[in-house]
């Protein structure tokens, strides 16, 4: 039995060996998600999850690009403006820089459901990134997310994905489907980097 399991684990880890672009969801991956029906609209509400700074710094040191792709429906709902969102992201970049970490790009969708081609699981944010980073492709990229829309977006593009599932929180209603679609899973961004993207 042990002789069979070990090669399977090895193949699973090596499945990410050629990854050079790491796409990251924001809420639930970098920072604590707001309660259902609520939105993180300012830096004061933005709570980075444990280990995020170190995880991104490790991705940077490995030569990989760290790119955020995030749905921000709160803009369409009038809860905060694009200027508010950009100010929050500038604060995030400054915080990460103080920890020797950086995000190579941040793409966001400010639209409501059904209004665009960029709201995940639609591919628009990724297509924009592929235009801005010509060396990036579905084949050398991975999506790290905590929701079905993240994993479905990757699946539609033929991209590998890693689903983050926090055992301390109740499972998402569509969590089982997301787990079936995902290439792998981890409990945090740092766990993801340590297990698959070292």
Q: Tens digit of pLDDT for each residue in 57-82?
A: 999 999 999 999 999 999 999 999 99
- Counting the structural domains of the chain, the total is 1
Q: What is the 3-state secondary structure (H, E, C) of 113-175?
A: CCCCCCCCCCCHHHHHHHHHCCCCCHHHEEEEECCHHHHHHHHHHCCEEEEECCCCCCCCCCH
73 token code pair: 């429906």
Q: Which residues pair with 105 in a beta bridge?
A: 67
What residues are labeled active site?
Answer: 25, 27
Q: What is the CATH number of the domain that holds 114?
A: 3.40.50.1000
Domain that holds residue 35: 2-196
Percent of the chain with pLDDT over 90: 84
- What is d(CA 108, CA 84) in angstroms, rounded to the nearest whole number? 13
Q: Tens digit of pLDDT for each residue in 73-128?
A: 999 999 999 999 999 999 999 999 999 999 999 999 999 989 999 999 999 999 99
Q: Tens digit of pLDDT for each residue in 134-175?
A: 999 999 999 999 999 999 999 999 999 999 997 777 777 788
């Amino acid at each position: 039995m042990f002789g069979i399991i070990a090669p399977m684990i090895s193949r699973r880890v090596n499945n990410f060996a050629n990854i050079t672009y790491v796409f990251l969801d924001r809420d639930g991956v970098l920072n604590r998600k707001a309660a259902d029906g609520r939105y993180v609209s300012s830096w004061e509400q933005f709570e980075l999850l444990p280990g995020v700074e170190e995880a991104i710094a490790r991705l940077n040191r490995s030569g990989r690009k760290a790119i955020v792709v995030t749905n921000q429906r709160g803009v369409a709902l009038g809860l905060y403006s694009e200027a508010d969102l950009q100010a929050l992201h500038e604060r995030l970049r400054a915080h990460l820089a103080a920890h020797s970490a950086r995000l190579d790009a941040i793409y966001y969708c400010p639209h409501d459901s059904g209004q665009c081609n960029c709201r995940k699981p639609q591919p628009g944010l990724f297509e924009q990134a592929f235009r801005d980073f010509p060396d990036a492709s579905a084949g050398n990229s991975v999506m790290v997310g905590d929701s079905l829309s993240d994993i479905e977006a990757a699946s539609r593009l033929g991209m590998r994905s890693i689903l983050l599932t926090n055992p301390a929180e109740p499972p998402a209603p569509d969590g089982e489907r997301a787990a079936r679609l995902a290439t792998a899973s981890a409990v945090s961004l740092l766990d993801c980097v340590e297990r698959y993207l070292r």
